[in-house]
Amino acid sequence: MPSRFFITGTDTGVGKTVVSAMLCAALDAFYWKPIQTGAREGTDRRTVMRLAGIAKARTFPEVYLFDPPVSPHLAAQWAGVRIDLRRIVLPAISRDDNLIAEGAGGAFVPVNRRQLMTDVMKRVKLPVILVARTALGTINHTLLSLAALRSAKLDVRAVIMVGKPNEDNRKAIERYGSVSVAGTLPMLARLSRASLVRTWRTRLDRMLFADE
């Protein structure tokens, strides 16, 4: 079976896109972000292409693309459209291809009047990787996010932390969240395909991402 994951975060700006780029580079995976807001400042698709060093052909267009840097439900409302999850269908790729799908914001970000990002995850049926900060406050944010994901009956594969390594926070998240922390992506001096792959090889438990 291929390695395919949905990347979500404890909140916006936590590092989902950098983690997505790392996984795309390390797993030679396709990239897909079904809902993108804030496109006027650039898309995460282009960022992943640049950081992971992958061609446009290894990515898929967004299903919904909005310019304002706001929640999907609000961006769609301003654009006069409704995000319909029936339009969000996994890209047609080979059964052996790896795929990294990235969400917008955190687990409970609304996408329309009734549905949340967790509903998008349920729709695509991929194991979930939760991205969390290492800094103060991360234990509460991460445990709440794990509770939200599990209440939606989603398969949470692991947590990846981003920032200055903090072993106490890591141990607390593993203990109280009953989850494996795959490792920590530090603040790299230079973000590139080489530095991301090196971090993957030296700082993450790659067995958590093995084919099942």
Cα–Cα distance for residue pair 159/157, rounded to 1 Å = 7
**If you ran DSSP here, which 8-state letter would residue 126 be given?**
-
Q: Is 33 a catalytic residue?
A: yes
Given 33, 122, 125, 153, which residue is catalytic? 33
**If you ran DSSP here, which 8-state letter would residue 190 be given?**
S
Please give the positions annotated as active site. Answer: 33
